[in-house]
Amino acid sequence: MKKLLTALKRCAAAAAAALAIVSLQPVSAAQAAPSPVVGGTRAAQGEFPFMVRLSMGCGGALYTQQIVLTAAHCVNGSGANTSITATAGVVDLQSSSGRVQVRSTRVLQAPGYNGTGKDWALIKLAQPINLPTLKIATTAQYNTGDFTVAGWGAAREGGAQQRYQLKATVPFVSDATCKAYGGLYRGLVASEEICAGFAAGGVDTCQGDSGGPMFRKDNAGAWIQVGIVSWGDGCARPNAPGVYTEVSTFASAIASAASTL
């Protein structure tokens, strides 16, 4: 078990309302949460059309127009599930213009997920959402440089989730540097997780951002997903980067799982 309040997974505590205040009660690593984006700026309407807000208080991205890629710790196992509502098409969660809301039909949590590593899951929707999808990295080629993160999570540690989608840029942190920060980071699963953030802190994902994508431009100038918001030691603290599921490690497994939905 990882400690809270220091190890906040980036999902909100099963909030039904998009703007609910995150509970900071001690929970297990599988339930723990990272935020909206700390130190971010407001995203423009349509800037990241693949972004999805999930009703349990997490984020996600359209892997296909009918499948959302999110974090394993945001869902409770695999199987039929009609309890999740996916909201897409808006940066303002209170806007009705262009907003699309679709219920889930099935969830597939990463096989073998036990609260450490393998933090990915797929949610099948009742019908397709006619918006662009976000391709995922299939090699480690793009696991470096500067990344974009976006979400409706808290703008400060322990704060409320946001009405408007925020975005920020965070730099890659090597596995060796990330582990050297000590504490929780000694438990980094280097083959399955990737770190990003500033040594000085100030910019990070936080509660409510869990499951959302970390992405950058590929060589053709298109967005490509390299990470999934997973966990961190608080939000935007110095020497405490965000930790993200390394998507390229699981690209084949994700594709295989999606084909079964």
114-136 confidence digits (pLDDT tens):
999 999 999 999 999 999 999 99
106 falls within a domain: yes
Give me the CATH number covering residue 75.
2.40.10.10
94 falls within a domain: yes
Question: pLDDT tens, 33-56?
Answer: 333 488 889 999 999 999 999 999
Q: Alpha helices of the chain — where are they, by DSSP H?
A: 175-180, 247-260
Identify whether 210 is a catalytic site residue. yes
230 falls within a domain: no
Mean pLDDT by 10 residues, the chain (261 residues): 36 37 29 56 96 97 98 97 97 94 98 94 98 98 97 90 93 98 96 97 94 97 98 96 98 97 94
Print the domain residue range for 82.
49-133+250-260
Q: What is the structure's pLDDT at 160?
A: 84
222 falls within a domain: no
Residue 195 three-state SS: strand
User: How many structural domains are present in the chain?
Assistant: 1
231 falls within a domain: no
Q: What is the structure's pLDDT at 45?
A: 96
108 falls within a domain: yes
Of 35, 210, 230, 248, the catalytic one is: 210
Of 35, 55, 73, 204, the catalytic one is: 73
Q: What is the structure's pLDDT at 38?
A: 87
DSSP-assigned states of every residue in 60-120: EEEEETTEEEE-GGGS-SSEE----EEEES-SBTT--TT-EEEEEEEEEEPTT-SSSS---
Q: What is the structure's pLDDT at 186?
A: 96
79 falls within a domain: yes
Of 55, 104, 119, 230, the catalytic one is: 119
241 falls within a domain: no
114-148: string of b/e by CB count within 10 Å (b at 16+)? ebbbbbbbbbbbeeebebebbbbbeeeebbeeebb
